Amino acid sequence: MSAQDREPDEEAEIAMRRLSRRSFLWGGLAVGGTIGGLIGFNKYTPEEEGAKSAFRRVLSINEAAARSLLFSPTHRAPTFPRSAAVEPKNNYKGETPVIDVAAWRLRVEGVVGGPRTLTLKDIQALPKVSETTELKCIEGWSAVVNWTGARFADFAAKYPPIPG
C-alpha cells in the first residue's frame, strides 16, 4: 500500500510508532553520551598554547587556510582611478556631525612604554596613504570612494604592542 492510499489516521499511527518511548530513550542516550564524552574530553585532554590540543590543531589548520586564502597579498580589494570616486552617503540624515577636533583623543593601551593618550595631530603625523576602492555598506549599497589616512601597519610600528 502506497502512502497515497493510506488514511490520515493510519499516517498518524505510523508517525506515533516512530516517536515511541524507546526511540526517545535511544535519542536521550545518544545526547547524554555525546555530552559525557565532551566533558571527559575537556577534562583529560592536555592544553597547548591556551587551548585543548585537538582544538589547537583545528585552529592552526583554520589559521593556515585563512592566511593563504583570505589574507594573502594577492587577494587585496580592487582599486579604481581617483576620477571614479564619489562622495559616499552618510547615515546622519544629510548632515555630517561636527566633531571637536581639538578635544578628540584616542587612548591606546597594551603598547610598549605603557598606555598613552593620542591627539588627532599624533595620528596625522603618521605617513598619509590614499587608496580608491569600493565601499560596501552593510545596508546593501556600494560606491567607489577615495580613502586617505594612516595605515594600521604604520600606527603599530610607531606604537608597537607589548610582545606576546
> DSSP for 3-50?
TTTS-HHHHHHHHHHHT-HHHHHHHHHHHHHHHHHHHHHHHHSPEETT
Could you give phi then psi for residue 88, rounded to 5 degrees?
Answer: -70, 155
Whether 143 maps to a domain, the answer reads yes
Q: Domain end: 50, 69, 88, which one?
A: 69
The DSSP line for 85-113 is --PPP-SSTT-PPP--GGG-EEEE-SBTT
Whether 125 maps to a domain, the answer reads yes
Domain that includes residue 97, residue range: 77-158
Number of domains in the chain: 2
One domain for residues 150 and 107: yes
Mean pLDDT score of the chain? 83
Q: What is the pTM of this model?
A: 0.51
Round to whole Å and give the CA distance between 58 and 74: 25
Distance of CA 10 to the CA centre of its chain: 50
C-alpha cell recorded at residue 95: 548632515
Whether 3 maps to a domain, the answer reads no
User: Dihedral sign, CA of 69, 72, 75, 76?
Assistant: positive
pLDDT tens, 64-123?
888 887 777 777 788 999 999 998 776 666 677 788 999 999 999 999 999 999 999 999
Q: Domain end: 46, 69, 92, which one?
A: 69
One domain for residues 54 and 82: no
Whether 163 maps to a domain, the answer reads no
One domain for residues 52 and 120: no
